[in-house]
Amino acid sequence: MRKPKTFLLIIVLLAISCLLPSGFSENRSQSYQLLDKPDGSTYYKLNITVQQSLYEYYIEKSHSLNSNSEFAKFVTPYALRPIADCLLEIYTDDEDFVNGVLMIVHQIPYNETQAKYPVETIVENKGDCDLFSYVVASIVKAHGLDVVLLYYESQAHMNIGVSLPHVPHDARETAYYVTHNNIHYYVAEVTGEDWQNGWRVGECPDKLKNAPAQVITLENCEQTTYGQVSASYKTLASSTISLIISPTYLIQGGTVTLSGQLSPPLQNRTVTIYIKINNSPWIVLDTITTNHGYFTYAWNTEAAGICYIRSSWSGNNDYAGADSTIQTVTILSAFFVLLLVITAILVCIGITVFIMSRQAQPSIPEPQPPEIPS
């Protein structure tokens, strides 16, 4: 009879562990081939790394869509800016830059899925026209170009339009564009898995040329965030970051000291502190600047509950980003502590009254056995 009980205990422990955030953290990496020109002969390999904390941050953000205009919220220029910076090292012309971005998404396998943010698409290495459009628009906007999303409701399709300083030279047909507010936005088709000979900016699939396109501008895109991907043409060296928390148990309203170290010990690097309170999504608590790799932060707690905390660094051109292990802090509610104190006092009073009442009772002599006459 012991085996069923043991098996049930294992199942319960596994279920509990699934509900808690994992303390293990790893980076997710993808590599993409690039050409210096659509018909060029010089190849590059772009390495992109995403920290687990950044991936989970976007996973837990709202993915709901109440209207088509909310497509813009999935465009995240700041998070993908390191990719744009790398592309600018080899593409000096804006048309070449956009074609380079298209080469990247043309290497991601097509798979219809729900709405996701670009970081999710890069990590999971799959997506559809909507998701590819968000990735391309994010990188192009990070470069500073005027870009819009083009939604073809009748075709259930999306791609992007880009305003360029000149008519595309490398388009293999008459460059196609959509006009909005007197601006020509050259169409860039994001689907297709032939990255070397795929769609170029200014080329448009025939079925879309006569289809009405809704132009979605990006005023409502994500303006900034606290984390970025790492990108480089060389293999990024690894880095580590630690996190020490003191105390790990405290009363609501108390102060927790967060400290740690970035290795290598770089100066003036931004460290992001993520927190998750109970079962809420991960949010950013604050950012800290390193001092020769070290950082410290005083957190004045407000909400009670079990808090999960991690530190993160986004990396740079030399080092991949890193996350610390997830630490736990238990913050007791002031009301709960007061209730415990009152309960303890009442218990002590009850015990004291019981003892005193026992002592105050008169002693009853024990009955003596009757004398037996001799």
Average pLDDT over residues 361-369: 62
pLDDT of 24 > 90? The answer is: no
Is pLDDT larger for residue 16 or for residue 171?
171
Q: Quick one: tokens of 98? A: 């956009």
Q: How many residues appear in the chain? A: 374
Q: Quick one: tokens of 127? A: 């997506």
pLDDT-derived band of residue 333, with 50, 70 and 90 as boundaries?
Answer: confident
Q: Which domains does the chain have, with CATH numbers?
A: 23-230 (3.10.620), 237-332 (2.60.40.730)
Is pLDDT larger for residue 344 or for residue 263?
263
The predicted pLDDT at position 373 comes to 63
The structure's pTM equals 0.80
pLDDT of 9 > 50? The answer is: no
Cβ burial 189-221 (10 Å sphere, 16+ → b, else e): bbbeeebeebbbbbbbbeebeeeebbebebeeb
pLDDT of 4 > 60? The answer is: no
pLDDT in tens, 139-164: 999 999 999 999 999 999 999 999 99
Q: Average model confidence (pLDDT) for the chain?
A: 88
pLDDT of 231 > 80? The answer is: yes
pLDDT in tens, 283-315: 999 999 999 999 999 999 988 899 999 999 999
Tokens 């079925």: give the residue: 207
Distance CA 235, CA 348 (A): 66
Q: Dihedral (C-alpha) 89, 95, 96, 98: value to the nearest 10 degrees?
A: 80
pLDDT of 234 > 50? The answer is: yes
Do 34 and 100 contact (CB within 8 A), yes or no? yes
pLDDT-derived band of residue 11, with 50, 70 and 90 as boundaries?
Answer: very low
1-5, 77-81, 242-246: least confidently modelled range: 1-5
Average pLDDT over residues 193-216: 95
Is pLDDT larger for residue 109 or for residue 362?
109
Distance CA 327, CA 7 (A): 29
Average pLDDT over residues 33-43: 93
pLDDT-derived band of residue 348, with 50, 70 and 90 as boundaries?
Answer: confident
The DSSP symbol for 110 reads B
pLDDT of 369 > 90? The answer is: no
